[in-house]
Structure 1
Amino acid sequence: MTITPTQASAQAREICELAPIVPVLVVHDVAHARPLAEALVAGGLPALEVTLRTPAALDVIREMAQVEGGVVGAGTLLTPADVKAAKEAGAKFGVSPGATDKLLDACEAEDLPTLPGVATSSEAMKMLERGYTMLKFFPAEANGGAPALKAIGAPLPQISFCPTGGVSPQNANSYLSLPNVVCAGGSWVAPSDLVKKGDWKAIEELAREASQLSR
C-alpha cells in the first residue's frame, strides 16, 4: 500500500493537531518505554516521537505502540531501511531532520505519514512542489526561531509547520502563536534525569503543563 504526499500531510497534520507539543524522546532503556508513554499520554500529550538515536529505539516504539491513547512515531528517519524498520515496529508516523527523494519514496511506499524537515524557504518550496504541506522546521532556534518561521509563512501560507530544535517552555508560545504552526516538538517534557529516576508523576505534570499551552 502507498500513500500520496497529500494524504501523508493530511494525516500528519491530524496527528500534530492532537496536542500543542509533541514530545521528542531519546530513550536508552526499553524498560522505561511503557511507563514513560503512559505518563505523557495521561498528561495530555498523545503524539510521541521516539528518535532512532539509541539501540533500544525500535523496541521502545514496539512497547509504546501498545499504550492506549498514544500515537507513536519514529524520529530521525534517515534511510529507507529506517522507514521500513520503524513501520514494522509499529510507528504511526515518521519525522526526518531533512528530506531526500529516496527517503520520501520509502515513506510513501511504506504508507507512513511523515513530517519532512526543512530549514529554508527553498526547501519548503521543494516539499510543496512534491505535495507536502505539513513540514518540520528544524533546527528551529538555530534557524532564526519564530521570527524566521513567521517570515517564511508570509509568501508560503499554504504550508504548516512543527518547529523542533531549541523549543522550550520559555519560547514555545512564540511559535504556537504563529498561524503557520500547528504544534511544536520539545524534549523538555521528558528530561533524562526524571526518566532515569522513573519519576513518572513529575513527567506527567510536565506533560500536563505543556498540553495547556495556547495555540
Structure 2
Amino acid sequence: LIIKDHHKNAAKEIVNIIHPEILNSKSKYIITVSGESGAGKSEVAESIAGQLKELGINSYIFQQDDFFIYPPKTNAAKRKEDISRVGIHEVKMDLLEEILIAIQNGITRTSKPLVIFDEDRIIEETVDLNDKKVIIVEGTYTTTLKHVNHHIFIDRNIYDTRGSRQERGREVQDEYLEKILLIEHDIISAQKVLADIIVNKDYNVNKIK
C-alpha cells in the first residue's frame, strides 16, 4: 500500500465523525469503505484502523477481494472469456452479509475465505474478533451491504484514479482493462447514493445524513 497524507487526513476526518458513535455503541461498530479501482479504499481503511488504534480502539479489516467466487488469476481468465461476467455477481456478497449479521449478533470468532494470490487458490481462515470494537469492510461493492453503521464512499472515478493505478502497477493499463473499469464504474457510481459519508476526489470528507 502507498499511504499518503491525503489518505491519513481523510481518515482523520472520518474518525472524528464516527468516534463518538463508536464509544456509545454497545455492539461492534461496522463501517464500509468503497469506491472504484484505485480510489484509495485500502489506504483509507488502513489509515482509519491506524488512527482508531491511537485512540485505543482495535479494529479488523475484511477485504472484499477475499470473497470472490474464483481466485484472482482464474477470475481474470473467465473475464477474458466473457467480459459480461464483470460485476457484483463475481463476489460472495451474501456470505459477507451473513458474517456481518453474525458479528452484530455477538459472535467473536468467524471463518472467512482468504485468497492466496501467488497460488491462485482460496483457503479458509478463522479470525478472532474478541478485542475488535470496529469492523471495517473494504471493497468496490461494499456499499450494498446492509448490516452496517456507516457507508463511506470514495468518489473518484476511473479518470481521477488513473495516476494511482499506474503508481501501484498491479495491472497492465490497456484497452481491455479500460473496458472492465468502465463496466465497474457504471455499477459502483450508482451505489454512491447508498453512502452517508462521501470522500470527494480531493479527499475532503462530507457527512450526508
Q: Same fold (TM over 0.5)?
A: no
TM-score (norm 1): 0.29
* Structure with greater Cα Rg: 2
When normalised by structure 2's length, the TM-score is 0.30
Between structures 1 and 2, the one with greater strand share:
2
